[in-house]
Amino acid sequence: MLNNYNEFSIDKKSVKSTLGRNPNEFEWDVLKHFYFSQFLNNPIPGINKIINHGENILWINNSTQLSVGLESKGSVTSFSAGSASTVIGTKPKLTYKSKQSKISFGISHHSIPQLQSITGQESLFFLKNSKELVSACNNILQLGSVIIKQINPSSLGYSLNLLSNNKYGMDLHFSSAKQISILSDKSSHGVLIAANQKLSTKIKGICKKNNQSCLHLGNLKTVQFLSISIRNKRKVNLPLSTLNIAELPKISIVPAIPKTLK
């Protein structure tokens, strides 16, 4: 992925101006991972408006969803054709293949109403890709009041920012400082779940029953700040505006991605 785009940069002056101060070392690390994730998932400004990134799930009616997954060799964004079906709790029903590309279609029926929009009070979960992921997603969808988003390699930070839509803040919790690398880690892909906070225990129970890894990332909030805590100690409190600086970057940085998360 992105063999020719393995470096990116940040305009530190704009970050300092937006924040009103110089970020501390850990805050810089967090920003680097969010920016790096955004860079990898939108390497050419405006390209996602053309390919409709994230718009591959269609509602046929109030209970039926259709997924369309695209995949091509050499793509600068690592989309997987089958992942689109995973987020609606099913496997592809129809797949067309060529030497260079693949397109898959999936369809799913849900009798329980799903969450149609974000309110800013949802719990956030990351489920890493596995053989059990489709089954876990299907069972979680039966709870209702959830939204499941496809997470491609390196796209967790990018997708969290899209979910917040520069409108809702995030309270994220990690067990160690190194774990923030999951935000832009190329080996991390699966699904992001936003659900009614009352469903948190049930979601964890479903994942445990299905032997599916489940990372409770934290919660959305109405205050427009990104807060990150490490072992219940707050280390970051940044306004959302620092995640959405539009100016082109200048100073080259590449965050270190450990092979294993601790």
Q: What's residue 5's pLDDT? A: 38
Q: What's residue 79's pLDDT? A: 64
State the chain's mean pLDDT as an integer: 82
Listed by start position, the domains of the chain span 9-253
Greater model confidence, 98 or 54: 98
H or E element at residue 31: helix 25-41
> In the predicted model, is pLDDT for residue 54 greater than 50?
no
pLDDT in tens, 194-241: 999 999 999 999 999 999 999 999 999 999 999 999 999 999 999 999
Residue 68: partners with Cβ closer than 8 Å, 6 or more residues away: 56, 58, 84, 103, 104, 105
Q: What's residue 51's pLDDT? A: 52
**Of the options 3.90.650.10, 3.40.50.620, 3.10.20.30, 3.40.640.10, the CATH number for the domain spanning 9-253:** 3.90.650.10
Residue 12's pLDDT band, with cuts at 50, 70 and 90, is confident
pLDDT in tens, 138-165: 999 999 889 999 998 899 999 999 999 8
Q: What's residue 1's pLDDT? A: 29
Residue 204: partners with Cβ closer than 8 Å, 6 or more residues away: 214, 216
Cα angle 179-237-224, degrees, rounded to a multiple of 5: 110
> In the predicted model, is pLDDT for residue 262 greater than 60?
no
